[in-house]
Structure 1
């Protein structure tokens, strides 16, 4: 597997509210050494939801901090419960975390960099801005939020970037024009993006329309975001006809594994494709929340990433032992 999870017990040493509905948590593993980690790194955090142990993944904010790992969590009523659990904790609470890992590729040889964030997607880009600004002044960050009061980490980003930071507040009729932004970038600019799925879809479409190289657009998203509201749905197994309900607060991956149908997984963020399973039929609509499959593949509905994707209605899947995984 791409990730080898090294778990350590950790202490929640501090919290602070960054904006309405966004809280920062500082988690200090036992024996923490404040070692540098790659840009775009995230950690997995143990949580308890409805009395059951589960895992959530969060981007690390900024570069290595002597106090511990920094994450920021948006409280989401329609989430699977991870944010509710973390928000219930007080400093001194004990939980388990993994060592940092990253899938974000940064080409350090570029002359120009453009960072684009939507909402809580700012979290991995704080450290990216810090690292890139030590290399070149040609770094700009475009940050789209519902209101300026929702913009987390401006206290760190504003002095770092100055007029190279642009904030777009929807409640002030300020719109981030991705097509215009991308069209005006110098040739060879590397773009790092993190935001909700709809914004990512718009970014990829605008990038392609500009005729830019797809390899110059690097992105992350958060698997809880999708086009459709989160609700329970049904999975039907081809052959046996067994039907399994996936509740709104659990992933398809976890429910299938709990029912004894072993599904391999790695990142659990919709990025690596290890948990992809075959789709036979759809009675309703699949909400693909991964960044592994292309738009054409998602439209075909032949596979889905069980770790993050959901559905409305019933999804019939084929054998969980895929030929290409044997």
Structure 2
């Protein structure tokens, strides 16, 4: 059971490659919803895609400031990923699809005294709109704004021209270089906020450095685009005593999808391990949980008392308690 969503018919208006691995799509709603809703920085769209012949949902950050006619998203092709990017890259101009949104699990606070935006690779997508929204405000008020943009090569610097136009020298590219989060955080004034979007190792480094700095946890805001985990995907066994179920989750299927296919209702939304709606209690574990979420704290992961069904996997077998409760 997914969180409530309103679906809109849409069409691929156009697309173009920003880098050798990143493609931007302009998506136009059709019919009664032909006017694009205004969206805040950090918002995303959900899309219904056919992934290897199966209908699945994927979420993509909305890029840049809205123009009232189309939504923009950018998708990095990952040939060894879960298939969503390959499905997107097969789409052509005029292809129709269903979208839901915009939604925002990564909101921007306009009242901070200073900002540090940190993007890693395709993590630039939600941060471009934030940079554009903050650039003028910060310049007028004298507040500090900087962006660090980590990429593996200059060729992968998507939206570099747009970022330089709005940020100028406040943009710093870290090409094939690790970002020193400890030093960057130490240079921030009290009350500053840091917004991070990128791969999980970058996010983990940012979180650890922020925690070590003693700054308020609420002043670190983050979003990730996925975690491939510590182990290669493999089949694992799941027991649900409340439903008298004993099922096997295939290597190419998420735990959440396997539960839904078995008739177990599980609430979900982001399907990226961020919102925590799909967390389930772990009753017993024979093996190891490969936590692939960013919702649970490091302490919670070590306890292995909960897992996020949308992304996390198990090496071995696990006994879970579903969120289902019979009517009183």
Counterpart secondary structure, 2:185: helix
Q: Distance in 2 between matches of 1:97 and 1:2?
A: 14
**1:288 positional shift:** 1.8
Is 1:242 the counterpart of 2:246? The answer is yes
Is 1:139 the counterpart of 2:138? The answer is no
Q: Distance in 2 between matches of 1:187 and 1:322?
A: 44
Q: Distance in 2 between matches of 1:198 and 1:78?
A: 18
| 1:278-289 → structure 2 map (5 Å cutoff) | 278-289=281-292
Residue matched to 2:230: 228
Match of 1:154 among 152, 160, 164: 160
Residue matched to 2:311: 308
**1:226 positional shift:** 3.4
Residue matched to 1:13: 13
Residue matched to 2:193: 190
Call closer, same or farther: CA 1:149–1:285 in 2, change over 3 Å.
Answer: farther
**1:66 positional shift:** 4.0
Residue matched to 2:265: 262
Structure 1: stretches of 5+ with no match in the other structure: none
Please report the TM-score for the alignment, with normalisation by the length of structure 1: 0.91
| Cα-Cα RMSD | 2.1
Counterpart secondary structure, 1:99: strand
| 1:1-326 → structure 2 map (5 Å cutoff) | 4-30=4-30, 31-137=33-139, 138-170=144-176, 174-222=177-225, 224-239=226-241, 240=244, 242-248=246-252, 250-311=253-314, 313-321=315-323
**1:21 positional shift:** 1.3
**1:273 positional shift:** 1.5
In 2, are the aligned partners of 1:3 and 1:101 still within 8 Å (CA)?
no
**1:255 positional shift:** 1.5
Structure 2: stretches of 5+ with no match in the other structure: none
Q: Distance in 2 between matches of 1:72 and 1:221?
A: 15
Counterpart secondary structure, 2:133: helix
Please report the TM-score for the alignment, with normalisation by the length of structure 2: 0.91
In 2, are the aligned partners of 1:226 and 1:288 still within 8 Å (CA)?
no
Counterpart secondary structure, 2:288: strand
In 2, are the aligned partners of 1:60 and 1:69 still within 8 Å (CA)?
yes
**1:238 positional shift:** 4.6
- State how many pairs are aligned: 319
